[in-house]
Copies of this chain bind each other. A is one copy, B any other.
């Protein structure tokens, strides 16, 4: 299996990304990595990292001279940079030279490149981005987290199908419980979009458990949460912001007294485990669903563990044929 990694994406530069790739090939023998980026630059980075020979043989370079920056408009990027890492990567998938692309770069541009090069999966109205959120129990799969800001009920209905397939394959959940993100659990609560989607989901044979509230997301009593990309993105970013602020505020309180500082030393390891538990890095990245191929968007801040995990997640999606599962589900569950 060959996974193409955007070696120029993300906030930390190629070296960290290459280290992530290296960890991934060390962990899974059936994975090969193609690094996407300017060949000379990447060769230098590869040479600088001391490698044992075996996994090295499973890392190659595909020349892609252009890079899309974080704040570039996806439309401009597609028009002007035909040789960007992500365009070259999804081209490889289209030509069967790679099975998936992983990028920690500009997420809008990555999505746009995927749709442009691979097209939508047959029957899918709107591809979208799913994400795995940590909870008190198993992670919950949320879709859409930002690809589609203005949606119709039909789109949300298909997100439910696609995110369920993703939850089954990545977390081994057999018949994922699907919740619709709203502002009250009762039927009839929510905005116009939610009310219409509720009606579609409850008439289908999907394992729809009804509306869920923001509070429920982190309880782990639902496996898949459906929302439009505007609401999903805000949910994601609010969570990140709060988690960050909470850690800072906790630190401020602890640093106020010597007693608490000593206590801190004793719980430091537990705090580290806790951080790991709520860290997106552990989940690797956000799968693109509904495209005619496989792609993962990782956080710009990803460390090498996050990149490794994103590659492994891409591997799982390819290995288990996520798109076949989605196509079968679309046929099975769609309301005619």
Question: Would A216 and B241 count as touching, CB distance under 8 A?
Answer: yes
Contact between A267 and B263 (Cβ–Cβ < 8 Å)? yes
Residues of chain A in range 229-283 having any CB-CB distance to chain B below 8 Å:
229-231, 233-246, 248-250, 253-254, 256-257, 259-260, 262-271, 273-274, 277-278
Q: Which residue of B lies closest to A258 (CB)?
A: B266
Size bin of chain A's contact surface? 35 or more
Of chain B, the residue at the smallest CB distance from A267 is B263
The answer to the question of A181 belonging to the interface, with a C-beta cut-off of 8 Å to chain B, is yes
Given contacts A235-B238, A238-B238, contact A230 B263 (CB under 8 A): no
A214 at the interface (CB under 8 A from B): yes
Contact assessment for B246 and A278 in the assembled complex, using a CB-CB cutoff below 8 Å: yes
Contacts of A266 in B (CB 8 A): 259-260, 262-264, 266
A86 to B166, CA, bound (A): 47
CB of A105 closer than 8 Å to a CB of B: no
Contact of A218 among B244, B254, B263 (CB under 8 A): B244
Query: Is A213 located at the chain interface by the 8 A CB criterion?
Result: yes
A253–B271 CB distance below 8 A:
yes
In the complex, the chain B residue whose C-beta lies closest to that of A257 is B270
Q: Is the CB of B235 within 8 A of A215?
A: no
* A249–B233 touching, CB < 8 Å: no
**Given A246-B246, A269-B260, residue A241 in contact with residue B218 (CB < 8 A):** yes
> Does A186 sit at the interface, judged by CB under 8 A?
yes
Check if A253 sits within 8 Å of B273, measured CB to CB.
yes
Distance, CA A71 to CA B71, complexed state (A): 45
**Residue A135 is within 8 A (CB to CB) of chain B in the complex:** yes
Nearest CB on B from A159, distance (A) = 16
Interface centre among A146, A149, A213, A236 (most CB of B within 10 A): A149
A328 within 8 A of B: no
Residues of the B chain whose Cβ atoms lie less than 8 Å from the Cβ of A264: 263, 266-267
Q: How far is the CA of A229 from the CA of B265 in the complex (A)?
A: 43
Closest chain B CB from A175 CB (angstroms): 24
> Are B253 and A135 in touch, CB under 8 angstroms?
no
The answer to whether the Cβ of A125 comes within 8 Å of any Cβ in the partner chain is: no
Pairs A–B under 8 Å by Cβ, sample size 16:
A136-B249, A183-B233, A191-B228, A214-B234, A214-B241, A215-B237, A215-B238, A217-B241, A227-B234, A231-B234, A238-B238, A249-B278, A256-B273, A262-B263, A263-B264, A263-B267
By a beta-carbon cutoff of 8 Å, the part of chain A in contact with chain B is: 71, 135-136, 146, 149-150, 181-183, 186, 190-192, 194, 213-219, 227-231, 233-246, 248-250, 253-254, 256-257, 259-260, 262-271, 273-274, 277-278
